[in-house]
């Protein structure tokens, strides 16, 4: 009877105590979260309930398993398994606690500061810090698991003796990985690029969607994701449209006939911008920037609060202006020189003297004579 009750008491008592402690901790965290609504820290800590129960249950079983007298011939193997589970669950708990602290710190900072650029910078930094902590905890946990095996402990001396050579070999083999790792830290704390920044890399326009220790993901306007090593942003030039102020100035170019009414086009541009919600009202302008024998280049300058809005303003101005020119001033659009010209309104089809303009007729060219006449 004792051989049956003892294992039940040990295993059952460990499970009951684990569930009881987990329930009490969750209840206390829930009440703390209700009392302190200004910070999400207590709500985030509730995510640690499951790894906490794993740690507590494994620790209780590891400490009292010898008293259960179950499979005495396998005590060493079962004890090692429980130790490995305890190390893994402890690492899981530490990662969850670190994530809760980092997230709550970022939330408090984001609520206290309204500058989007600073908030994105801190978000990038805390994300990389969280990844570094996770990597360190994972490496330490794996090392601790390996050291539980006697063979690994015996090989420790030889590993330390050859650590210098192995370090050199590993450094050469992982040169690219290490460069990306340091580049990721440089990006995070050097404030070169942040999550949510609008960038142009290799001719592709998009926003920074994810930053890790080794790679960076750019989400393009057509919902493609470009994954690039972070070392690219520390070794090559790129455009960051969100650096400093996110306000932008855009341009729209038109190739028009020399007879185009520039003043009326300038007034029409003002009317189009006033009716466009994406225009921020800071500035606008229209000027002739170039001229060719057949057309002239007209540049419209517009402003907006960010890259998305400046794109909307540019396409709106282009569409509305072309529609208005086609309907009201078709002569202003570029045309082939050999086509009949469409005269501006109010101009007389005759010359200044009232006589019709004549186009000289093309004379027939006499073919050259060949042979004798």
Could you report the per-residue pLDDT of 163-218, keeping only the tens digit for each? 454 454 445 444 555 566 666 666 666 667 777 888 888 888 888 888 777 778 88
Tokens of 221: 């306007």
Q: If DSSP codes are grouped into helix, strand and coil, which group holds residue 306?
A: coil
Name the pLDDT band for 297 (thresholds 50, 70, 90).
Answer: very high
Please state which of the ranges 11-25, 91-105, 220-234 shows the lowest mean pLDDT: 11-25
Helix pair angle (175-190, 116-147), 10° resolution: 140
Q: Give the model confidence (pLDDT) of 40-88 as tens digits.
A: 666 677 777 778 878 887 877 777 666 655 555 666 777 778 888 888 8
Task: Check pLDDT > 90 for residue 320.
Answer: yes
Distance, CA of 314 to CA of 87 (rounded, Å): 58
Q: If DSSP codes are grouped into helix, strand and coil, which group holds residue 180?
A: helix
Sequence length of the chain is 373
Contacts 24+ apart (CB under 8 A), 235-238: 235/183, 238/193, 238/199, 238/200, 238/201
Name the pLDDT band for 361 (thresholds 50, 70, 90).
Answer: very low
Tokens of 38: 């200004």
Task: Check pLDDT > 80 for residue 282.
Answer: yes
Phi, psi (degrees; rounded to nearest 5) at 241: -75, -15
Q: How many CB atoms lie within 10 A of CB 177?
A: 14
- pLDDT given for residue 122 in this prediction: 74
Assess contact for 309 and 347: CB atoms under 8 A.
no
How wide is the angle at C-alpha 19 spanned by C-alphas 14 and 25, nearest 5°? Answer: 125
Q: If DSSP codes are grouped into helix, strand and coil, which group holds residue 333?
A: coil
346: left (phi over 0), alpha (psi -120 to 50) or beta: left
Query: Tokens 């090593």 sit at which residue?
Result: 229
Burial class (CB in 10 A: 0-12, 13-18, 19+), 122: middle
Name the pLDDT band for 271 (thresholds 50, 70, 90).
Answer: very high
Distance, CA of 174 to CA of 22 (rounded, Å): 43
DSSP annotation of 65 reads: G
Phi, psi (degrees; rounded to nearest 5) at 69: 55, 50
Q: Give the model confidence (pLDDT) of 221-239 as tens digits.
A: 788 888 888 777 777 778 8
Distance, CA of 102 to CA of 104 (rounded, Å): 6
Name the pLDDT band for 313 (thresholds 50, 70, 90).
Answer: very high
Assess contact for 196 and 243: CB atoms under 8 A.
no
């Amino acid at each position: 009877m004792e051989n049956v009750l003892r294992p039940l008491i040990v295993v059952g008592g460990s499970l009951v105590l684990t569930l009881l402690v987990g329930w009490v901790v969750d209840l206390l965290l829930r009440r703390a979260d209700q009392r302190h609504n200004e910070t999400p820290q207590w709500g985030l800590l509730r995510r640690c309930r499951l790894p906490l129960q794993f740690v507590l249950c494994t620790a209780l079983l590891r400490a009292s398993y010898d008293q259960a007298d179950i499979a005495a011939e396998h005590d060493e193997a079962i004890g090692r398994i429980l130790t490995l589970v305890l190390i893994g669950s402890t690492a899981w708990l530490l990662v969850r606690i670190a994530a809760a602290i980092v997230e709550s710190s970022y939330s408090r900072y984001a609520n206290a500061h309204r500058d989007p650029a600073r908030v994105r910078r801190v978000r990038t930094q805390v994300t990389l810090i969280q990844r570094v902590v996770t990597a360190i905890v994972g490496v330490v946990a794996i090392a601790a698991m390996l050291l539980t095996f006697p063979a690994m402990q015996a090989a420790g001396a030889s590993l330390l003796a050859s650590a210098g050579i192995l370090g050199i070999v590993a450094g050469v083999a992982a040169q690219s990985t290490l460069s990306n790792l340091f580049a990721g830290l440089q990006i995070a704390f050097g404030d070169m690029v942040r999550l949510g920044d609008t960038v142009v890399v290799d001719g592709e326009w998009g926003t920074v969607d994810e930053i890790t220790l080794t790679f960076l993901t750019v989400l393009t306007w057509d919902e493609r994701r470009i994954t690039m090593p972070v070392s690219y942003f520390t070794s090559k030039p790129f455009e960051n449209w969100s650096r400093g102020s996110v306000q932008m100035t855009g341009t729209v170019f038109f190739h028009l006939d020399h007879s185009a009414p520039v003043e009326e086009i300038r007034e029409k541009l003002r009317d189009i911008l006033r009716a466009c919600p994406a225009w921020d009202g800071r500035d606008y302008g229209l000027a002739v920037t170039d001229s060719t024998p057949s057309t002239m280049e007209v540049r419209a300058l517009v402003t907006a609060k960010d890259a998305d809005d400046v794109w909307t303003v540019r396409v709106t101005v282009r569409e509305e202006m072309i529609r208005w020119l086609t309907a009201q001033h078709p002569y202003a659009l570029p045309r082939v020189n050999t086509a009949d010209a469409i005269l501006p309104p109010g101009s007389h089809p005759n010359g200044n003297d009232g006589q019709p303009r004549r186009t000289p007729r093309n004379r027939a060219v006499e073919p050259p004579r060949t042979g004798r006449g």
